[in-house]
Every structure is written in structure tokens, then in C-alpha cells.
Amino acid sequence: MRILLVEDEKILRAQLRAALQDAGYTVDEADNGRDAQFLGDTEVFDYVVLDLGLPVVDGLTVLQRWRDGGRSMPVLILTARDNWHEKVAGIDAGADDYLTKPFHMEELLARLRALIRRASGQASAVLQCGALQLDTRSGRVTCDGQPVSLTGHEYKVLDYLMHRPGVLVSRTELTEHIYAQDFDRDSNTIEVFVGRLRRKLPSASIETVRGMGYRLVPP
């Protein structure tokens, strides 16, 4: 899953980036509203963490422009504790959730997981496809109750597919969602990750649709 983190406070942004990356997410960053709007308009994100008090262009304006332009990715806004009117304005502008500063990192991650589940139609934090389970809270993957050891990129590919069981996902889409903007993207490496996953998962778990992409096959 790929996250756009928009926060102008350097220390907090670094803390958020580290926590999100430790949780298995790919993170792109912006420290002002102009750059944030450009990234949101030109890149594909599963989720956005958006501070409202941004320089150059404020976060509320950025959010409104995204929604007016048809961008529908889930957005969690960050607001100061005493600015209750910002929460109301943010929700009215199209935010999906909000968090007041200061906050616990665990709460932000939990809200993130909930919004991603909601966007993909999942009800539980534990994703299941037959004997295969992926716990989005711990990042633990098991098959028939036995742990499955995955690299970071293998986990990201499986996580994206398990949020969309039975849905055909192209190599381009996977590439956009597991690599940050400044990474040297190569869709051919997706074949490598899928090949490695197939050796670790039950037979025929991942189907290849020639020339189109991959699909996680429900039992």
C-alpha cells in the first residue's frame, strides 16, 4: 500500500514516515500544499495523511481541489487539538477521518488500517484467502497456521492482492502501489516477487492472466 504523507513539521514527518514504513507501507512525502496537490493529482495513492496547517497552500484547499478534480483516495486529516472548526470543515470538504495533535502513533496506524479495509470492502484486520491469512496489524502471514516468511516487497505485493481477492491487478498497478515516486520502478521485478510468492504459498494461489496481470484466487 502506498501512502502520501503531507506534514510540514520536519521531526513529526520523520516520525510518521518511520512508523508507516515499519508497518509495511510505501511512503511519499510533501512538506507544503503545492507539492502535495501535484503529487495527489499525478500519482496513485491508497491513502493520504494530510496536515491542514500547511505553507504555500493550506491543507483544506488541497483537499477540496482533489475532490473537485475527482480524486477519491481516502484522506485522514491532522488538526490542532483546539481547532474543532477545522475538523468540521475538513469532513465537509471530503476527508474520511481526522486525528488531533498530539496523537499516539498506534491510533494513526489503526485508523489507517480501518480506512483501507473500508475502501476495499474488508471487515476484519485479518485478511483471509483459503488457508492463507495476513494480519494487517502485525504484518504476520500464515498458511494453515504456519508462519510464512516474506521480504518487504513480497509482503507488499501479497497485501495489495489480499485486499482485492478475485480482482485482476495489472503489473503497472502493482508497481505504482508498492514503489515510492523517487524509486527506480521496473514492472518486470513484479514477476520476480510473484514467482517467489508462488513458491511460498499454496499451489495456484496467484493466477497469471497473460498480458493483463495477476489475481489472488479465492478457494
Q: How many residues does the chain have?
A: 219
Name the residue with cell 478457494: 219
Domains and CATH numbers, the chain: 2-120 (3.40.50.2300), 126-216 (1.10.10.10)
Whole-number percent of the chain with pLDDT over 90 = 61
Q: What is the mean pLDDT of the chain?
A: 90
Please tell me the pTM assigned to this model.
Answer: 0.79
pLDDT exceeds 70 at position 8: yes
Could you give the CA distance from residue 9 to residue 1 in angstroms, rounded to a whole number?
A: 24
DSSP string for residues in 150-192: --HHHHHHHHHHHTSTT--B-HHHHHHHHS-TTS---THHHHH
- Per-residue pLDDT tens digits for 174-206: 888 888 776 666 667 888 899 999 999 988 899
